Amino acid sequence: MKFIIDDANIAKVKEIWDLYPCDGVTTNPSILAKSGRNPYEVLSELREIVGKDGELHVQVVSKDAEGMIKEAGVIREKLGENTFVKIPTTPQGLKAMKTLAPQGVNITATAIYTPMQAFLAAKAGAKYTAPYINRIDNFGYNGVQVAMDIQDIFENNNLPCEVLAASFKNSQQVLELTKYGIGAATIGCEVIENLIRNKAIDAAIDVFNSDFASITGEGKTMADC
């Protein structure tokens, strides 16, 4: 499963990118708005962090297909042709996908709440579909199961599209989709940090270090022996 950061806080993204085995960064208009800066200034810095080969996902805001197509062109011109253009899965969004996909544009279909949205987006040429796990839960459905159902639909219909699960509230949701083999997940920095945050781990390491110090002295490591 690809491991993608869902954030635009430059300092935090740099920290997570440095520590964890990540594959890219996703953004949306709400995430970018939190920075209070020009969107392309932030996105350019994110592109520098992930490099030319890392994935960067950027969302359009137009409601009509013509506007979406125009935005996609500017996004790719400013941030690189390999940038994934996030397009909401609406009727106009599907129209834009059908136009852009044959042109070689990487498309991430977003704002997905149902398996049928994902199926139609994949048919329209999207490379990723992004179901909102926690938001689906908040509507009284099972977001994890919806993501699994979407993956099954892709496999059963031989559609070359991957699930990019989004909107997580806890590490358990991530774990369940990892076990199922979901193609990718985009996760907020706080949830990422909680994936391996465990007092038992810290306690075990403290014991190891204490035992080692008892035979070598404080502050010594295997490099000093």
| CA 117 to chain CA mean position, Å | 19
Q: Residue 70 belongs to a domain with what CATH number?
A: 3.20.20.70
| C-beta neighbour count of 174 within 10 angstroms | 23
pTM of the shown model: 0.93
Confidence (pLDDT) at 13: 98
Of 198, 202, 186, the C-alpha closest to 16 is 186
Q: Are the CB atoms for 124 and 104 separated by under 8 Å?
A: no
Q: pLDDT (tens digit, 9 = 90+) per residue, 81-117?
A: 999 999 999 999 999 999 999 999 999 999 999 999 9
63, 70, 86, 127: which one is catalytic? 86
* 28 shares its domain with 109: yes
Enumerate residues 6+ apart whose C-beta is below 8 A from 146. 113, 114, 115, 131, 133, 136
Q: How confident is the model at residue 197 (pLDDT cuts 50, 70, 90)?
A: confident
Q: pLDDT (tens digit, 9 = 90+) per residue, 26-56?
A: 999 999 999 999 999 999 999 999 999 999 9
* 80 shares its domain with 120: yes
Residues 27, 31: Cα–Cα separation, whole Å: 6
Instruction: Kindly report the average pLDDT of the chain as a whole number.
Output: 96
* 99 shares its domain with 201: no
* 167 shares its domain with 180: yes
Structural domains in the chain (count): 2
Q: Which domain holds residue 212?
A: 195-225
**Catalytic residue list contains 86:** yes
Dihedral in degrees, nearest 10, Cα atoms 54, 56, 68, 123:
60
Dihedral in degrees, nearest 10, Cα atoms 181, 183, 186, 191:
10
Tell me which residue has tokens 């852009």. Answer: 100
* 44 shares its domain with 146: yes
Q: How confident is the model at residue 60 (pLDDT cuts 50, 70, 90)?
A: very high
* 173 shares its domain with 204: no
